[in-house]
């Protein structure tokens, strides 16, 4: 019997036990009035546990598929020559210890494919809170992450500071910070070990260069959020920007991806590296009509 079958058996047994107990709790509500409140409370608790057991049943298969898909995707990037990888977590504070375990399993699955001699960045996209992050960080140290990204909401600068000053995993952030004053606060508090502004959001090249200068004076590297030409040019022109992010092109889903369909000229990575063409003027982008027929242009 494999572990998946064992898990299924445990869940089936658990559900049967819960069904029996629920029957008993219902019977209790029919008994004397004094016992009714206890019966109602028990039913609520048992229904909650039953829901949890049913969820567990589904997630055994879902979890296996998720991990397999994730590993396949990671493997494709290894084959393309990338040596640095970023993963996202799927669970947060509302998912309790079970969710923590699943987050760890995701990290294990990625490390298994990318090996130990690669950089692994971990992305929370503000989905955690301070308490959850403080509990997760010691569990994640064994994966030797290069950084933990946006573990708490962007405005919780003191939360960032507390996590970064644990000195266990370097904390990164800044893609939801909008001018140099916010970055000054982050740097003053030693709240981040990596800055990840987005040129689109901080006020363009002039503002971004000011942030670069402040960050360099604090010896905090800048790795702009996402790739794309408006960020690549800043990376290429600053010694304090050691690497670039690259997002694989996705189908249009929510509109953020429109960038890929309106402009052309973004470099394609080769063996994990991007190169910019010195002979192209400006950003090196041109507007394309290639996907024009896919959109309904109203003005």
Angle at 35 between CA 31 and CA 36, to 5 degrees: 80
Q: What is the dihedral of CA 25, 31, 37, 42, to 10 degrees?
A: -10
Q: Residue 94: which of 51, 139, 131 has the closest Cα? A: 131
What positions carry a catalytic annotation? 225
Coil, strand or helix at 97: helix
Listed in sequence order, the residues at least 6 apart from 130 whose beta carbon sits closer than 8 Å to its beta carbon are 152, 156, 159, 162, 163
What is the signed CA dihedral for 107, 113, 118, 122, rounded to 10 degrees? -20
What is the radius of gyration, based on Cα positions, of the chain?
24
**CA-based nearest residue to 195, from 213, 203, 204, 78:** 213
Shortest CA distance to 196 belongs to which of 219, 171, 172? 172
What are residue 276's phi and psi, to 5 degrees? -105, 145
Number of H helices, E strands in the chain: 10, 7
What whole-number distance in Å separates Cα of residue 139 and Cα of residue 122? 13
């Amino acid at each position: 019997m494999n572990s998946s079958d064992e898990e299924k058996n445990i869940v089936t047994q658990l559900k049967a036990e819960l069904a029996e107990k629920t029957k008993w709790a219902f019977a209790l509500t029919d008994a004397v009035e004094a016992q009714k409140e206890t019966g109602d409370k028990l039913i609520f608790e048992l229904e909650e546990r039953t829901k949890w057991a049913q969820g567990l049943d589904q997630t055994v298969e879902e979890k296996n598929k998720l991990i397999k898909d994730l590993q396949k995707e990671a493997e494709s990037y290894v084959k393309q020559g990338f040596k640095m990888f970023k993963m996202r977590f799927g669970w947060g504070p509302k998912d309790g210890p079970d969710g923590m375990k699943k987050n760890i399993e995701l990290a294990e699955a990625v490390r298994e494919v990318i090996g130990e001699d690669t950089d692994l960045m971990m992305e929370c996209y503000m989905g955690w809170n301070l308490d959850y992050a403080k509990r997760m960080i010691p569990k994640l140290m064994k994966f030797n992450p290069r950084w933990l990204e946006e573990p708490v909401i962007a405005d919780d600068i003191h939360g960032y500071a507390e996590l970064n000053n644990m000195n266990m995993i370097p904390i990164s952030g800044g893609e939801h910070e909008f001018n140099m004053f916010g970055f000054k606060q982050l740097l003053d508090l030693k709240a981040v070990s990596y800055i990840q502004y987005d040129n689109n959001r901080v006020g363009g090249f002039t503002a971004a260069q000011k942030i670069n200068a402040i960050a360099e004076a604090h010896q905090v590297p800048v790795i702009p959020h996402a790739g794309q030409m408006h960020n690549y040019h800043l990376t290429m022109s600053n010694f304090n920007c050691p690497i670039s992010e690259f997002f694989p092109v996705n189908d249009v889903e929510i509109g953020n991806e429109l960038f890929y369909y309106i402009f052309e000229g973004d470099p394609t990575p080769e063996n994990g590296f991007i190169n910019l063409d010195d002979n192209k003027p400006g950003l090196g982008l041109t507007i394309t009509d290639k996907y024009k027929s896919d959109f309904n242009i109203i003005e």
